[in-house]
Amino acid sequence: MTELNEALVAILACPNCHASLIVDVEASELVCADTAHCGLAYPVRNGIPVLLVDEARKPGGTVS
């Protein structure tokens, strides 16, 4: 995964629940920090976060 700008990640929020996002470098995803209620994982493609709920992976591996 191409490295994301830390300042950008700091201002991004989960489109579903508005919690902060955590970078998962190995999976090339931004994961919602509210894992108890949301936990959606958004893909990062070519260094660009795809923050669409329809493109997110739900906890457990399924795509919403």
Q: What is the pLDDT of residue 64?
A: 62
3-state helix, strand, coil in the chain (%, to 5): 15, 30, 55
Give CB contacts under 8 A, 24+ apart, made by 56-64.
Answer: 56/16, 57/29, 59/35, 64/40
Q: What is the pLDDT of residue 52?
A: 97
Domain locations in the chain as residue ranges? 6-55
Q: What is the pLDDT of residue 41?
A: 97
* Segment 3-59, tens digit of pLDDT: 788 899 999 999 999 999 999 999 999 999 998 999 999 999 998 999 999 999 998
Query: CATH number for the 6-55 domain, one of 3.20.10.10, 1.20.120.350, 2.20.25.10, 3.40.50.2300?
Result: 2.20.25.10
- Higher-confidence residue: 37 or 63? 37
